[in-house]
Structure 1
Amino acid sequence: MSAPEASTPPKPKGKKLIIIIAAVLLVVAGGAGWFMFGRHAAEEGDEAPVAHSSKPKAPPVFLPVDNMVVNLADPGGDRYAQIGVTIEVVDLKTSDQVKAYMPSVRSAILMLVSQRTSEELLSKDGKAKLSRDILREISHPLGYTVEDDEDDHADDKPKAKSQRRAKAGPPNPINNVLFTSFIVQ
């Protein structure tokens, strides 16, 4: 009778051993899966901030242009504008490039303003258009083109924008044209 008693105890121990091994394998497999997928998700989440924080954005450089007094295109020629402009560029190198063309820049600004009437310049849209036109004129000597949005027809705008993206080269280093003084008399 000792033989049947000896053979019964090993069977439950064998089942327990198999269950323990299976449980340990499940825990290990679950932990490995969590480690791999959790790590992969954490890496994806960390990639975007690292890309932005790896190169800190430098503050723009502001290049003031001396104030200018310009006769306007009003009938009678008795109206004029005094305009102060500051050019916002991405870095000092671009600032130096614009300074090298400063006589051309000032001339272009004077020509653009002298073609406007006081009514145009007193409106917000008129000032915004003048700013875009000045940006286009300043960008030209540096080899950049700025498209005038108003030249596009309403039906052609999606096509024109996609064509601009296809032709896109390096971004224009001139960020903005700011008015620091604007008096129309």
Structure 2
Amino acid sequence: MAEEVVEEKPKSGGKGLMIVLIALIVVLLLAVIGGGYFLYSQGVFNPQEEKAMQELGKKEVNNSKEMYKAAINDLVLNITNAKGREKLMKLSFTIKSNDPAIESIVESYKAEIVDVVISQISARSSEELLTVGGKALLKDELVDEINKVLNEATATNSDIQKNSVKEVLFTTFVIK
């Protein structure tokens, strides 16, 4: 019988695997430390910044109490859908401003404001206006356009604030 000689080979894969695992642990530790620093700098773990943000929010709430409103009611508009068919829309909205004279200003320049509203709505389809995003976009554009109209109309009057319209709130929005 022939004797078989079995040679044992030394295991060399252990050192390489150990180096890879140590490198992986170091990378994970650096990621955790970096994430913690990012969260701390954003105020998640920093109570002082959190208190400052709360105080700032309270000041904004106090300033928002000084808002004045003016309403434009019962506009009936023609709009089209994607197929080109005409639909009717009934719209009422309120303009919020930090100018106490906003109601008289809106009443004086109501025709110009209504013209801007008609132009903005006519540029959209009924499907776009029925989406939440479409309404939000319309509100933002109406604020910009109404501010432009009021800034031009009251350019000679220095008592009236520029860009005083802060928000448009829809009170009636029906498409049929």
Length-normalised TM-score, structure 2 = 0.54
Take 1:143 and 1:81, find their aligned partners in 2: how far apart are those partners? 28
Take 1:174 and 1:101, find their aligned partners in 2: how far apart are those partners? 14
In the alignment, does 2:120 pair up with 1:112?
A: yes
Quote how far apart the aligned CAs of 1:128 are.
Answer: 0.6
The structure number with the bigger radius of gyration is 1
Identical columns (%): 26
In the alignment, does 2:124 pair up with 1:172?
A: no
Contact 1:86 1:179 in 2 (8 A): yes
Aligned to 1:72: 79
Superposed CA offset, 1:35-78 (max 9, x none): xxxxxxxxxxxxx99xx6xxx74531111102111111323333
**CA RMSD of the aligned region, Å?**
2.6
Contact 2:93 2:168 in 1 (8 A): yes
Which structure 2 residue ranges, 5 or more long, are not aligned?
1-54, 153-160
Quote how far apart the aligned CAs of 1:137 are.
Answer: 1.4
Take 1:60 and 1:73, find their aligned partners in 2: how far apart are those partners? 35
Quote how far apart the aligned CAs of 1:82 are.
Answer: 1.1
Aligned to 1:141: 149
Code of the residue aligned with 1:124 in structure 2: it is V
Quote how far apart the aligned CAs of 1:91 are.
Answer: 2.8
Take 1:110 and 1:171, find their aligned partners in 2: how far apart are those partners? 23
Within 5 Å, give how 1:1-150 maps onto structure 2. Answer: 57=63, 58-74=65-81, 75-143=83-151
Code of the residue aligned with 1:135 in structure 2: it is V
Code of the residue aligned with 1:173 in structure 2: it is S
Q: Larger relative contact order (C-alpha < 8 A, sep ≥ 6)? A: 1
